[in-house]
Amino acid sequence: MAFSYEVSFWEIRERKGRRKPFEVRWVVNGNGKSESFLKKGLAKGRLSELISAAGKGEPFDEETGLPRSELRTKLQKVTWYQHTRDFIEKRWDDTPGKSRKNFADALATITPALVTSEAGRPDARVLRRALYSWAYNKQQQIKEPVPREEWRQALDWIEKHSVSITELEDAQVLRKALDALGKKLDGKAAAGRTARRKRACLSDVLGMAAEAKYFSTAVNPLKSVTWTAPRTAEEVDPEAVANPRQVRRLLDAVREQSSRGRHLEAFFGCLYFAGMRPAEAIHLKVAQCTLPDEDCWGILVLRGGTVRPGRNWTDDGRAHEDRSLKWRAEEDSRPIPIPPALVRLLRAHISEHGVAPDGRLFRTSRGGLVQESGYGEVWAKAREKALAPEEAASPLARRPYDLRHAGISFWLSSNVDPAEVARRAGHSLNVLFRVYAKVLHQSQERANRRIDAALEEWGMEAS
């Protein structure tokens, strides 16, 4: 926001035929401003206020034309809660359902911490539900224009006690928001990844406030505060990574589970042999697959994923929505070479089960989208059958997603160039090195032993 002391005033102008005929006019650094009034006396009073402010040496805002003190008073009336509602309103239409849900989750965590008083605070769970399910959900507001009484009371309280948006320039107030996003509702530490996601939302909201000139500078105040996310285990745990022999046993145990298991064997195979995310496998269509007849490598061209934000967050009321590849542009794709083992799995799957009308390879018995609860149940039974008791009690392949970790770890341990591994996995190199640090370390140790053996073979001293 830019202020100037170059202010000049015009005489009040009467414009007959207008609803408010008396116009106050002034100029701030060459930018003309005006306000209209019903009566001349009101116009004279307003002109007197502006002249008085200029006489006191107050600078005027070039965009709004208001004296600094008046602008500050106006901005202070906008609360954090009101601004977050404006943020949701502005971003909703151009935001996918999953992101809408994440915005609501983050703001429902932060908003209760940014209040002027604790007096009369509603129950924490009621307040969160009112914010998450109604105040920050435009779809729910359409279905339910007036929130249920319990929610209305909670929202009336937060509207009354929310801090001014301008107070977010104060580092101490900002830290209240950061402390809140680092904790769960029960007070326990939130996962680091969750806290970072919520911080990104906070940054977006404050960025919009800076653009609206709610702060004394155009800089996002979050940039001036040092914050460390709660520690979390981002690195893949080697104990969770199944070896190829264990994966084979697990896939066999999946296939042996009636028709549903046979239908999901190739689904789980995609997670392992192609390093796919479950959302990418659910989205996979036959047109994206090149599957040669002979024992040759094939290729999958991934073009997106299917996620489940829930019916309350999508425009069409469907529980699922399609999205672009993670961290990729809308039309981007990711080709992945697949070994003959997966080619055979996919060809057998198509031969036995066919494909959905829209070309999807994997679907429920009724043709619907594969659900996490469904394939999770099959996977749990497969672990019980395929693994020894001590293995089943360990983190080994505990989640279907661990198949992706196992596949990527196998590529790395097979000395595939990390840059190519990152490309196939849809990661950046930085993420690959961070998430698979322990796996890479094991690969380096194996490489060192091979070098030692080669040096000894040539009669040179090994390390």
160 and 307 share one domain: no
Could you tell me if residue 454 is inside a domain? no
Task: Say how many domains are in the chain.
Answer: 3
CB neighbourhood size of 409 (10 A) = 25
Could you tell me if residue 229 is inside a domain? no
267 and 404 share one domain: yes
Question: For residue 13, what are its two tokens?
Answer: 């102008």
Could you tell me if residue 154 is inside a domain? yes
Amino acid at 437: A
378 and 310 share one domain: yes
pLDDT, tens digit, 9 for 90 and up, residues 262-294: 999 999 999 999 999 999 999 999 999 999 988
264 and 335 share one domain: yes
pLDDT, tens digit, 9 for 90 and up, residues 199-228: 999 999 999 998 887 887 788 999 888 887
Residues 6+ apart with CB under 8 A from 73: none
Could you tell me if residue 417 is inside a domain? yes
pLDDT at 326: 73
Could you tell me if residue 230 is inside a domain? no
What does residue 292 show for φ and ψ, rounded to 5 degrees?
Answer: -65, 155
Task: Band the pLDDT of 416: cuts 50, 70, 90.
Answer: confident
Could you tell me if residue 331 is inside a domain? yes
Per the model's pLDDT, the better-predicted residue between 365 and 211 turns out to be 211
64 and 165 share one domain: no
- Provide long-range contacts, Cβ within 8 A and 24+ apart, for 16-25: 24/50
Tell me the pTM.
Answer: 0.69
216 and 245 share one domain: no
What does residue 338 show for φ and ψ, rounded to 5 degrees?
Answer: -125, 140
Choose one of 73, 94, 118: the last residue of a domain.
73
- 411's enclosing H/E stretch is helix 401-413
Choose one of 224, 247, 271: the last residue of a domain.
224
> Residue 275: which CATH number?
1.10.443.10
Could you list the residue range(s) of the whole structural domain that residue 215 is in? 80-224
252 and 322 share one domain: yes
* DSSP labels, 28-90: ETTEEEEEEESSHHHHHHHHHHHHHHHHTT--EETTT--BHHHHHHHHHTSBHHHHHHHHHHH
Closest by Cα among 234, 146, 220 to 439: 234
Could you tell me if residue 456 is inside a domain? no
Could you tell me if residue 113 is inside a domain? yes
26 and 61 share one domain: yes
Task: Tell me the pLDDT of the chain averaged across its residues.
Answer: 89
277 and 397 share one domain: yes
392 and 268 share one domain: yes
Question: For residue 145, what are its two tokens?
Answer: 């224009």
Choose one of 37, 54, 73: the last residue of a domain.
73
pLDDT at 463: 47
| Lowest-confidence segment of 47-51, 404-408, 445-449, 451-455 by average pLDDT | 445-449
273 and 405 share one domain: yes
172 and 312 share one domain: no
